[in-house]
Structure 1
């Protein structure tokens, strides 16, 4: 059976273009491209936000208390 040849893919492309129309396919392509760009931007923004280091507070008398400072969430 194997993989499809280039002729199989061309016939499938023609059938899809006839069913959906080229304008609708173009709109789907633009929407998909916008979604990919938005995803990449979101990933870049997430990488730019560096996590803040934890603050450690030490107490005398041989006791150590670890405290992690966190920002208050808005939820």
Structure 2
């Protein structure tokens, strides 16, 4: 459906939206969208830092242990 809308159609839609909502409302809406994007990026960055901190803590606190079953246990379960 969007493939049928050409540049003239997009321009017409933009003009109609501008007339209906006005410049002030559209500018305010774009500002809110920008704040949302910034908050999302900050959240992603904080989450990745938290994951890195947890992995560093796990490495410092205790060594990884092997949890694979021993050969005898694998034969018994088979």
Question: What is the TM-score with the length of structure 2 in the denominator?
Answer: 0.63
Secondary structure of 2:20's partner?
Answer: helix
Q: Where do 1:1-75 residues align within 5 Å?
A: 2-49=3-50, 50-51=53-54, 52-53=57-58, 55=62
Q: Which has the higher helix share?
A: 2
Q: After TM superposition, which residue ranges in structure 1, 4 or more long, deviate above 3 angstroms? A: none
Gaps of 5+ in 2: 64-78
State the alpha-carbon separation in 1 of the partners of residues 40 and 6 from structure 2.
33
Residues paired across the two proteins, number: 56
Q: Which has the higher strand share?
A: 1
Greater RCO between the two (CA within 8 Å, min separation 6)?
1
Question: What is the TM-score with the length of structure 1 in the denominator?
Answer: 0.66
State the alpha-carbon separation in 2 of the partners of residues 55 and 3 from structure 1.
60
Gaps of 5+ in 1: 57-75
